[in-house]
A and B are shown apart, each in its own frame.
Chain A
Amino acid sequence: MKGIQKAFARTPHMITTKVGMSKKSNDPEFDDYGRRFTAIEQATDKLLKDTKAYSEAVSNLFTHGQGYATHFATIFHPVTGEYDLIGKYPECEHTIKNVDGYEGALQELKAAIVPELELIESRILAPIKELQQIMKTIRKTITKREHKLIDYDRFNNSLTKLRDKKEKTLNDEKQLFKLEQDFEVASNEYEYINTALKNELPRFLMQATQFIDPLFHSFFYMQLNIFYMLLEKLSGFAEGKFDITVAAAEIASEFEQKRTDAQAQIEALAITQRYMGTSKMVQQNRAGGLSPGAPPGRASTTSSVSSASSRLPPPVRSPQPSTTSFKKAPPPPPSASAAAPPPYSPPAPGAVVSAPITKKAPPPPPPLKPKPKAAQYVVALYDFTAQADGDLDFRAGDRIEVVERTDSSEDWWTGKIGDRQGVFPGNYVQDS
């Protein structure tokens, strides 16, 4: 009730100061501290928010890491009826054997992080919350000072006005006396609180630094420890199994090299192609030639699956030749077989030669469908980037209208995509 009364009493003055009718005193020294206090106040809120966000991110990292490992391991476990995954995919043996260890390692990591997160909760978050509480009470004191300042100004203004009045009535004299008393009280109260703040805010600001000091150090070591745990566990797991010293930039290129034609094989399956309508399929079925990848009957399953285990060399881009004479020559003949795309790799000349040889022979190209129509289309098996003017750029999966082709797929063919026409290596594509 008293608070409301006070608020009403102060309102007219606040309005008059806003419109510049009455004077408002200020104290630059205090204002400076006030600003810094506000900065710390905001910083504390942010610190609290970001600390929470950080521990959430850490917890997510470990939870998702573990989830990833678990699901990955599940995918690499044989499903019912699969007996010899390693025999079928000998080059994947390393992965198949290690997924369980990986899952275990990440599970342990996830368990190990729990105490660390609790540490952040109790040693970092809790003190910050306390600090926030303390600052709230200080903020209250500052608000109180504002109010006392308004009172002080208010009485001060009234007093000056009354004093300046030329002819004072009896009432005015009485009023003047009362105002003088009020002003005295307000002035004392304001002085007291203002001095207290001016004395103690700097001390508080120092203390805030003293507070952040050990907190920052603790937090730093907790963060460091989290990285350390990650590093120790992961490199401990990878030790002797995986080469983790590879530069980040090479991870992707090594991945590309290890990539097989599995994707092309998956895309060759009829069930990964859009459903094309029953009547068309029936016709094809009756004609005897099913679409590639869907050999009729179940008997062929084994044979076609086992063909999956043999590999194409990875689709490798041929080294950028600087000579223009390259254009005339057909694309470099892959050493292993006719169906292999031109080698992909990059400048290292030794690797280019040896890579395709060490790999097994690619599976035979899928049976071609008889093509009754005049316009012929082929489908790109790999990305092809133009190496010279007049080359036809395309991405794996593009449909290319053949304008001119030779009998050999080791040659440059001419084709069209939309209105782009150009030449491309015939062994990059497959009849659609």
Chain B
Amino acid sequence: MSWSGFKKSMNRAGTTLLQKTGQIERTVDRDFADEEAKYKTFEKECQALMKDAKGYSDAMRAMTATQGRLADTIDVFYSAADKTSDSAMAAHAYKRSIDDLDTGIGRELDAPYRTTVMEPLGKMNAYFPIVNEHITKRNKKLLDYDSARSRMNKLIQKPSEDPTKLPKAQQEHDDAKEVFDMLNAQLINELPQLLSLRVPYFDPSFEAMIRMQCKFAEEGYEKLSGVQRYFADNVRDDYAAGQLDAQVEGVLQEMRELTICGAA
């Protein structure tokens, strides 16, 4: 920090302290406070939205990727004993479908998701630090203005011996006020514009998102349901009736009865 920057920050720290103890009057601008509060909410929402958007796409990829790994593993089970059964064929078909799905989703949805959802959000979120910098500046200039005004008022109430002091203080006050007013007006003017523009800005993402979500579900459903062909006819009903669970339990019980499994 430069020397003048350091001096400024020391002076401002002093002003803040005096304001806290009630020595210097603090300017409150309701208009700005309102706009700032709305802006802050918007900023928070956008950041949360970005997090969820990222999480959503990660989850989509993770879903198909883990399914791919599951398919591999299931294949291992079959290859340990019989490779030619109908179920093993079904497992193969499952593996193929999942691979198709995984690459298909990657190829078809990754890029559009980035362009239509992630990039607009990322850009919007990149504006916030800049806007925040403007707000910080404005707050600093407000402190300068408050302190200049208090100095001037003191001189008016208790005129100094030195006749040049008051005009100088007045000049400083006017300058500080001009700078502050300018920054303040700019924020009050533009924050609502920024907020309002969010609607057309994010509007096209909505439809794109819904389309991609549907596409993901549709692809997943279509690719997977094709595998059913390889199942025996009764499998579906057995699943619905809970028969499959009973089979699993039954096999586990048989395993436990092996001598090598604790019986020995």
Contact = CB atoms under 8 A, between A and B. Distances in A.
Given A207-B255, A227-B221, A235-B214, A298 B189 contact: yes
B132 to A, nearest CB: 10
A47 B195 contact: no
B210 A127 contact: no
A305 B197 CA distance: 9
Given A60-B55, A271-B186, A271-B190, A213 B87 contact: yes
A63 B252 contact: no
Nearest to B201: A262
Given A211-B248, A251-B116, A260 B262 contact: no
Contacts, number: 365
Contact of A68 (B34, B53, B133): B53
Q: Is the interface of A mostly helix, strand, loop or mixed?
A: helix
A8 interface: no
Given A92-B200, A216-B87, A275-B133, A208 B209 contact: no
A265 to B, nearest CB: 6
Given A91-B203, A234-B214, A294 B258 contact: no
B239 A217 contact: yes
Interface string A247-288: 011011011101110110110011111110010011001000
A80 B74 contact: no
B29 to A, nearest CB: 12
Contacts of B190: 269-271, 293-294
A138 B255 CA distance: 10
A235 B261 contact: no
**How large, as a class, is the contact surface on chain B?**
35 or more
B192 A244 contact: no
Contacts of A130: 252
Interface stretch (B9-17, B39-47, B163-171): B39-47
B109 to A, nearest CB: 6
B196 interface: yes
B77 A212 contact: yes
B56 A64 contact: yes
A65 interface: yes
A272 to B, nearest CB: 5
A205 interface: yes
A93 B195 CA distance: 17
B260 A196 contact: yes
Contacts of A177: none
* 8 smallest beta-carbon distances between A and B, as pairs: A64-B55, A230-B217, A57-B62, A67-B52, A248-B108, A61-B59, A231-B217, A60-B59
9 contacts: A54-B70, A72-B202, A138-B260, A230-B217, A242-B210, A278-B183, A301-B192, A305-B192, A308-B196
